[in-house]
Amino acid sequence: LLEEKLHLEDASKKIKIDRSHRLGRQKQAAEKPRPIIAKFNFCQDRENIRLNAKKLRGSNIAIGEQFPDEIVKIRRELYPELKKPGKRERRQNL
């Protein structure tokens, strides 16, 4: 995936993954593939993959970050504030 889709050279040798696993149970007639969780050995590898994720636009593959439940809850509460008129002129991240 990293070498073919993200065009990262020698990714299988350079990028170290501590562990990876899939979420959920495998279903017989699965409409969507199960997500894969990967823990990288180095933060720089994770960021490099995250920054190259834009190369996957138009495909059925997406790369995102996984946050703790507390942060997800806070972001969910702040999201309506971000969408208010007048807030869009400035660049904001959650």
Written as tens digits, the pLDDT of the chain (94 aa) is 777 778 888 887 888 888 988 888 877 776 777 888 889 899 998 898 888 888 888 888 888 888 899 999 998 998 888 777 665 566 666 5
Please count the other Cβ atoms lying within 10 Å of the Cβ belonging to residue 40: 17
Q: Please give the backbone phi and psi of residue 64, each rounded to the nearest 5 degrees, phi first.
A: -145, 175
**Pair of tokens at residue 63:** 């790369």
Residue owning tokens 């920054």: 51
Q: What is the rounded distance in angstroms from the CA atom of residue 87 to the CA atom of residue 85?
A: 5
Beta bridge partners of residue 19, listed in sequence order? 39
pTM: 0.65
Distance from the first to the final alpha carbon of the chain? 28
